[in-house]
Amino acid sequence: MTKLFVPFVDDEEESRKQWDSLNKSVNGRYANEYKIGIYSLRSQHNGKSILDRVGEPCSTNRQVVIAIIESSTMFSVITISLKDYSKSTFTVGKGNDVRVEYFES
């Protein structure tokens, strides 16, 4: 298993702080229910298998995936543009066709 990291953050403690902040922005007051980060997310869309992994280009927008955050009904894939450092988020619903690999807890 891979240890939790946020791309472009060199320090393990700072990675945890950044991830916690992203988690809080997605889950708000329920953030404490989702404390384990997701390393990769495999899903189906229009019959096509999609794999997104933290630290790699996103299958949807080709920006770098900086976090995959779980909530009660969906997964949020958060990416960052290396041109202007803007963040984007897209969501994947929870279902039988979704597989996740968690970071080491």
Amino acid identity of residue 26, one-letter, is V
Look up the domain containing 88 and give its range: 12-102
pLDDT of res. 101: 96
Neighbours of 100 (CB within 10 A): 16
- In-domain check, residue 98: yes
pLDDT of res. 36: 86
Neighbours of 40 (CB within 10 A): 18
Nearest-angstrom CA–CA distance, 101 and 70: 12
- In-domain check, residue 53: yes
pTM: 0.91
- Residues of the chain scoring pLDDT < 70: none
- In-domain check, residue 73: yes
- In-domain check, residue 7: no
- In-domain check, residue 1: no
How many domains are contained in the chain? 1
- In-domain check, residue 6: no
